[in-house]
Amino acid sequence: MAKIKIQKKDIWIDMTPMSDVMTLLLCFFMLTSTFLTPEPVQVTAPNSVSEVKIPEQDVLNILVTPEGRIFCGTENKNNMQAMLETMTDKFGIQLNANQIKHFREDAMVGAPMAQLGNYLNLDTEKMGEAIQKLGLPLDSINGGKSEFQEWVTAAREANPDIKLAIKCDSKTPYASIKKLMSELQDMSENRFQLITNLDVKRLND
């Protein structure tokens, strides 16, 4: 008895709907994602069980390294520009267009005013290396405010609704944190938030 040959047919699947869905998903994630501002120095925040979310806008982020160096900045570049103009006017410093461009591209403020011009003259790659050895001074100027306090004041003038958020490394000495908080309290800045990593294990226990 002869075998019956079954005619083979090519299977064709229309991938157009799948590609449309993938494109829509990609657009959705691109439009809804929040990009993190790069930090000048890597800081590992301590763990906690607090679930209070830090606002995404109108926040002055204050970074404290394990060595006690302090940096600050906000994601709003217009506010950063206004802060720079206030500080350069107060300290009598003139910056050229290229230096201002570098400042706007920088993530945070961390250079003392006496070194700000030379710092902003560096190439972008060298700025990233130099900033790690700098930091905002906490010493008072002629018995008045410190440079850190002046930057906070400039941020408050640029945006009266700005909120303060402090991110310290888990290895930052308590003395450095206490001094920072004392600087803020001397300015009557008594409301600020501490940025920590959520300890999921302790939260579930």
Instruction: Please tell me the predicted confidence (pLDDT) of residue 114.
Output: 87
Instruction: Please tell me the predicted confidence (pLDDT) of residue 203.
Output: 46
Q: How far is CA 41 from CA 44, 110, 126, 167, in A?
A: 10, 10, 14, 11
Q: Are 188 and 164 in contact (CB under 8 A)?
A: no
Task: Report the predicted TM-score, pTM, of the whole model to 2 decimal places.
Answer: 0.71
In whole angstroms, what is the distance from residue 62 CA to residue 74 CA? 9
The residue extents of the domains of the chain are: 47-204
Helix, strand or coil, per DSSP, at residue 64: strand
Q: What is the pLDDT along the chain (205 residues), one digit of tens a residue?
A: 556 666 666 666 666 777 777 787 777 666 665 555 566 566 555 555 555 566 567 888 888 888 888 888 888 888 888 889 999 998 888 888 888 888 888 878 888 988 888 888 888 788 888 888 888 888 887 777 888 889 989 989 988 888 888 887 777 778 888 888 888 888 888 787 776 655 545 545 5
Q: Among 59, 47, 172, which residue's Cα sits nearest to residue 108?
A: 59
Phi, psi dihedral angles at 27 (to 5 degrees): -65, -40
Interhelix angle 147-158/174-186, rounded to 10 degrees, is 50
Instruction: Please tell me the predicted confidence (pLDDT) of residue 41.
Output: 60
Instruction: Please tell me the predicted confidence (pLDDT) of residue 170.
Output: 74
